[in-house]
A and B are shown apart, each in its own frame.
Chain A
């Protein structure tokens, strides 16, 4: 299955990227995705302003959530398909602060990569924000809320993993919409892009899920106060007893 998929489209198999390249969405598509992203950015920015004003103690944790996305999206990891891709790191912030702030933090990461690394692009920034900074975090947040009753670790893992996969799913849809297959149309392009994306991305999504669980465990141990302020997770009784 893997070999056949790769043999059908050899030129794509070695190249799985999170971000759509500069100039590679038709102007109408680029404008439409940008328009979709704007309200989320405005809402996210207002939320960040509110958090930093009302709970200044959380500023550092918010910066760390952004930093986590910064690190993870710089790490291009090998996958079993024989190509490389990178995690998103947006699940952590979505779990901690809710998905809206990640629109802004993810956009900062994407802007850095578009301007300095020619990775992604300015015309495709809107589309990439929608996939990585909006849909990914919202899926992660939704999964976390749904799976939370099962157990914290599992919920964090599923949230970060599925948020990562959702990002790639959206990128696939965006590309298939812009470049439908000449014979089989949108559906054909979706299957073509999607099959390869899935193969490369599933192991990396699992890695992102595991890393996020480790970071949350670390936060619970050393940063119970911040998590408590967020109304997140278990009571910080382990290291900071609730004495008052």
Chain B
């Protein structure tokens, strides 16, 4: 991580935490809600006769199960990303180390091995 990356991560942290610290959303029933029903309400407010013609086949039975699945989604993605970054980092390091060792060797032995 370079200094630029750390600076960017700092900005990200500020952007994520600022709304939580600032007095925003006080006029809402529930701050930082993501309630599923509200968009439906908004549409039904202007289109009272609209009936959703299809229901979700399965819904998480509770908020806990929903957050379990969201966490699972993030964990799966993060796992793949972590595997990739770790693998490539190791490979890149091993290759640089091998090249450094090769350079450090006297030229005569290198000719012998080739």
CB under 8 Å from chain B, chain A span 74-105: 74-85
8 Å CB contact of A240 from B41, B73, B95: B95
**Closest partner residue, chain A, to B15 (CB atom):** A207
Residues of A within 8 A of B99 (CB): 241, 243
Interface residues on B, range: 35 or more
- Does A187 have its Cβ within 8 Å of any Cβ on chain B? no
- The number of A-B residue pairs with CB atoms under 8 Å apart is 199
Q: Would A83 and B25 count as touching, CB distance under 8 A?
A: yes
- A171-215 contact mask (Cβ, 8 Å, vs B): 1 or 0: 000010001011000000100000000000001001100110110
- Does B36 have its Cβ within 8 Å of any Cβ on chain A? yes
Q: Would A82 and B87 count as touching, CB distance under 8 A?
A: no
Q: Would B39 and A71 count as touching, CB distance under 8 A?
A: no
- Does A61 have its Cβ within 8 Å of any Cβ on chain B? yes
Residues of A within 8 A of B42 (CB): 9, 11-12, 15
**Closest partner residue, chain B, to A80 (CB atom):** B19
Q: Would B15 and A61 count as touching, CB distance under 8 A?
A: no
Q: Would B92 and A11 count as touching, CB distance under 8 A?
A: no
Q: Would B27 and A3 count as touching, CB distance under 8 A?
A: yes
8 Å CB contact of B53 from A13, A23, A66, A243: A23
Contacts A12-B42, A118-B59 given: A64-B81 contact, CB under 8 Å? yes
- Does B77 have its Cβ within 8 Å of any Cβ on chain A? yes
Residues of B within 8 A of A213 (CB): 8
Q: Would B55 and A23 count as touching, CB distance under 8 A?
A: yes
Q: Would A74 and B5 count as touching, CB distance under 8 A?
A: no
**Closest partner residue, chain A, to B47 (CB atom):** A179
8 Å CB contact of A222 from B2, B74, B89: B89
Instruction: From A39-47, A48-56, A109-117, A130-138, give the one contacting chain B.
Output: A109-117
**A180 shortest CB reach to chain B, Å:** 9
A159→B33 CA distance, assembly (Å): 28
Contacts A23-B54, A117-B60 given: A210-B8 contact, CB under 8 Å? yes
- Does B45 have its Cβ within 8 Å of any Cβ on chain A? yes
Residues of B within 8 A of A79 (CB): 19
A31→B43 CA distance, assembly (Å): 20
- B13-36 contact mask (Cβ, 8 Å, vs A): 1 or 0: 001101110101111111111111
8 Å CB contact of B5 from A68, A82, A181, A214: A214
**Closest partner residue, chain A, to B38 (CB atom):** A15
Instruction: Return the 6 tightest CB-CB contacts between A and B, nearest first.
Output: A82-B25, A23-B52, A70-B77, A15-B38, A71-B77, A67-B80
Known: A64-B84, A206-B15. 8 other contacts (CB 8 A): A10-B28, A14-B34, A70-B77, A118-B60, A123-B54, A207-B15, A217-B2, A240-B95
24 A-B pairs within 8 Å (CB atoms) are namely: A6-B28, A14-B34, A17-B34, A22-B52, A23-B53, A70-B73, A70-B74, A70-B77, A74-B70, A74-B71, A77-B16, A78-B16, A80-B24, A82-B19, A82-B28, A117-B66, A117-B73, A121-B54, A122-B54, A179-B47, A189-B46, A207-B16, A214-B12, A223-B84
